[in-house]
Amino acid sequence: MSRLGIINNVQAGRTRARLSRVRELLARCDAAVHDVGDLPSIVNATQDLLAEEVELIGVNGGDGTAQAVITELQRHEGPLPELAILPGGTTNLTAHDLNGRLGIDAAVRALVNQSGKTTAERVRVARPLLEVRVAGQPTEFGFFLGAGAILAGMRHFRDHVGSRGLRDELAAGLSLLRGLAGIAGREHAWSDHHTEAQVAGRSDFAGTQNLVLATTLQRLLLGLKPWWGQERAPVHLTALGHQPKSFLRVVPSILRGKSHHRATPANGYRSANVNSLVLNAAEGFALDGQIFTPEPGNAVSVRATPPHNFVCLGTG
């Protein structure tokens, strides 16, 4: 029995771009390596590694790959292996938040190093998960949920950026900038979305929003932290209303997690740290890059789990 298992998504952005090098690195590991390329193969590989009773699973892929593995582990009844996330995808929000900005080479070396240590010696970082429930659907788990204009940003990246071979964090930043320009210019594709975010006991989130994000991560792409709530709660929640006022003045501050005197609910800006929320997302929502579309009228319930430990490969 190997102490280390690796799920290697050969279709993930950075991995696909240098697949032979990644396979060369993984071949040097004393590990059970499972190549995957779609959701069924990711689920099967996770179940196989659970059956093999490995001590540590390394997930090399994007945020969607990590989300699928984490969800399958959370649905499992019984002891779980430890988990480490490698930056084999495109934007790698999860891997970078947990480990710092490591390349794949350094991440694989760190994974092998951590797998050779005793359980007590391993370095860990703790993060709560988002538990996402929709009536009639299996529960999903992840770190970053987005709705409204965030879906437009994902489509823009797919159609206009990623399709041209640009697949790193800076490339995703191009779609972010395009989206901000669209919201500022009140373009239909970017500023006409309808998502309701409801937080128990808070009337300031009432009404439809153009953009909603909720995350338990501590940084997003390019190190941005677009939340400025002061409450002691694990879920960072931010919402932008339709046609937010003074947008170009406010957005530089709020992207850095800094409050601005114009960033008020009356002007279309809302941010708080919460334990749970409910979405009515007619257009659907994204969870770590995977898009889900509930049946009309089905609310999306989101709550934070207790913190989970992840093996840290760098400076998370």
Whether the CB-CB separation of 221 and 93 falls below 8 Å is answered with: yes
Residue environment code for 85-98, b if the CB has 16+ CB neighbours within 10 A, otherwise e: bbbbbbbbbbbbbb
Domain 4-128: which CATH number of 3.40.50.10330, 3.40.50.1820, 3.90.1560.10, 3.20.20.410: 3.40.50.10330
Kindly report the backbone phi and psi dihedral angles of residue 53, in degrees, each rounded to the nearest multiple of 5, phi listed first.
60, 45
At the top level of CATH, the class of 144-287 is mainly beta
pLDDT beneath 50: ranges in the chain:
1
First vs last C-alpha separation in the chain:
29
- Statement: the pTM of the whole predicted model exceeds 0.85: yes
State the pLDDT at residue 17: 82
Considering the chain, tell me which residue range(s) the CATH 2.60.200 domain(s) occupy.
Answer: 144-287
Residue type, 30: D
Q: Which two tokens stand for residue 270?
A: 């809302």
State the pLDDT at residue 195: 92
Considering the chain, tell me which residue range(s) the CATH 3.40.50.10330 domain(s) occupy.
Answer: 4-128
Cα gap 45→53, rounded to integer Å: 12
State the pLDDT at residue 170: 67
pLDDT tens, position by position, 186-223:
888 888 899 999 999 898 898 899 999 999 999 998 89
What 3 state SS string does the chain have? CCCEEEEEECCCHHHHHCHHHHHHHHHCCCCEEEEECCHHHHHHHHHHHHHHCCCEEEEEECHHHHHHHHHHHHHCCCCCCEEEEEECCCCCHHHHHHHCCCCHHHHHHHHHHHHCCCHHHCCEEEECCEEEEECCCCCEEECEEEEEHHHHHHHHHHHHHHHHCCCCHHHHHHHHHHHHHHHHCCCHHHHCCCEEEEECCEHHHCCEECEEEEECCCCCHHHCCCCCCCCCCCEEEEEECCCCCCHHHHHHHHHCCCCCCCCCHHHCEEEEEECEEEEEECCCEEECCEEECCCCCCCEEEEECCCEEEECCCCC
Q: Is beta strand 56-61 parallel, antiparallel or unpaired with respect to 82-87?
A: parallel
